[in-house]
Each structure stands twice: as structure tokens, then as C-alpha cells.
């Protein structure tokens, strides 16, 4: 079957098998920030945005996003770089493997709730597996970034 997807702002048309997963499609098109971790929808490493909503690409068929807008971290570099610096400042990127999924979900949080409580932040991070940290660095980074945004973008 032929699918047409707007991937990171660029229209992509491709012939795919009916059982092709979205993760395989985006990786085949050069989006290597989308990673395979658990393949059971439990780790968050494969998070992408479909029509601006975070989804786990390891559990979605590419046919389901035919005609949709799909964004990966490669397409969100400006937002990702700005926030990523706050994660790095807190030493929360230790091995870095979880960072793309963590950043994608943090961006979703910032877009949907610019003033979240600690519990709301934890809800967004709940689907992201990080084996190196206790998530405290990520929490500090998110809170510092939110404070930075409240102050008009000045530290």
C-alpha cells in the first residue's frame, strides 16, 4: 500500500507493507532519534508526534497515520535544543539513550500545560524508562526550564 505522510514538514510518499510499524518507517527515512527499546509500549524511546500528539511508534502501524503529520526530534530541533540544555545542566542525560523520548514527552507537556504541578510532570514522565537516573535530574531540568519560560526566557 502507498502512504503519504508529512514527516518533519516534508511530504513523504512510500510503498509499505500493511504490517509496517511507524517506528520502522521513520527510521527508514533517517529519523534515528526514534529508538527501539522495549517494543512493548513501555519505555517511551519511540515517542513521536502524530498531528501534534505524542504516540508510541513501536505500537502503531504506519497505515494508521496515512495523511497525517508526523514529527520526530529531528523536526523539533529548536524546541529540543532549548530544553535539552536544562536537562544537561542537571546532569540528567547520563548515557543519553532515553533523552529523545524524554524530550518529546517534555515538549508535549510544555505545549499542553505551561504551568504543571509536580504530579502532572511525573504523569508525563511516567512512560519514559531511564535506567541511569532516579528522574530527579529530569524533574529539576523541567522545573528550571518552566521557570526560565515564566521569566521571559532569561536565566
DSSP structure string for 103-147 = HHHHHHHHHH-SS--HHHHHHHHTT---SS--SHHHHHHHHHHHH
Cell numbers that stand for 128 in this block: 519514559
CA neighbor of 98 nearest in space, from 139, 73, 130: 130
Q: Which fold has domain 76-150?
A: DNA polymerase; domain 1 (1.10.150)
Q: Where are the domains of the chain?
A: 2-74, 76-150
What DSSP string describes 55-84? EEGGGSBGGGGTT-EEE-GGGGHHHHHHHH
Give the pLDDT confidence of 53-79 residue by residue, as tens digits.
999 999 999 999 999 999 999 999 988
Handedness of CA 7, 13, 14, 18 (dihedral sign): positive
Cell numbers that stand for 142 in this block: 523541567
| Confidence (pLDDT) at 155 | 59
9, 31, 45, 50 from 64: Cα distances, Å: 18, 19, 20, 10
pLDDT band for position 144 (cuts 50, 70, 90) = very high
Q: What is the percent of the chain with per-residue pLDDT over 90, rounded to a whole number?
A: 59
Phi-psi region of 60 (alpha: psi -120 to 50; beta: other; left: phi over 0): beta
What integer is the mean pLDDT of 18-24?
A: 97
Q: Which residues pair with 6 in a beta bridge?
A: 11, 69
Q: Which fold has domain 2-74?
A: Ubiquitin-like (UB roll) (3.10.20)
d(CA 68, CA 93): 31
Is the separation of the CB atoms in 101 and 46 below 8 Å? yes
Fold matches, 2-74 and 76-150: no
Cell numbers that stand for 80 in this block: 529540543
Amino acid at each position: 500500500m502507498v502512504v503519504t505522510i508529512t514527516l518533519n514538514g516534508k511530504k513523504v510518499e512510500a510503498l509499505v507493507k500493511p504490517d509496517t510499524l511507524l517506528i520502522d518507517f521513520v527510521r527508514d527515512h533517517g529519523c534515528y532519534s526514534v529508538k527501539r527499546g522495549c517494543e512493548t509500549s513501555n519505555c517511551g524511546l519511540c515517542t513521536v508526534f502524530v498531528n501534534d500528539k505524542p504516540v508510541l511508534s513501536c505500537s502503531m502501524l504506519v497505515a494508521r497515520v496515512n495523511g497525517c503529520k508526523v514529527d520526530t526530534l529531528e523536526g523539533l530541533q529548536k524546541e529540543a535544543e532549548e530544553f535539552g540544555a536544562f536537562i544537561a545542566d542537571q546532569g540528567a542525560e547520563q548515557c543519553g539513550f532515553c533523552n529523545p523520548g524524554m524530550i518529546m514527552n517534555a515538549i508535549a507537556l510544555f505545549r499542553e500545560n505551561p504551568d504543571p504541578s509536580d504530579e502532572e510532570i511525573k504523569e508525563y514522565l511516567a512512560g519514559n524508562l531511564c535506567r541511569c537516573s532516579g528522574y530527579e535530574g529530569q524533574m529539576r531540568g523541567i522545573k528550571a526550564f518552566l521557570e526560565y519560560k515564566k521569566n521571559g526566557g532569561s536565566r
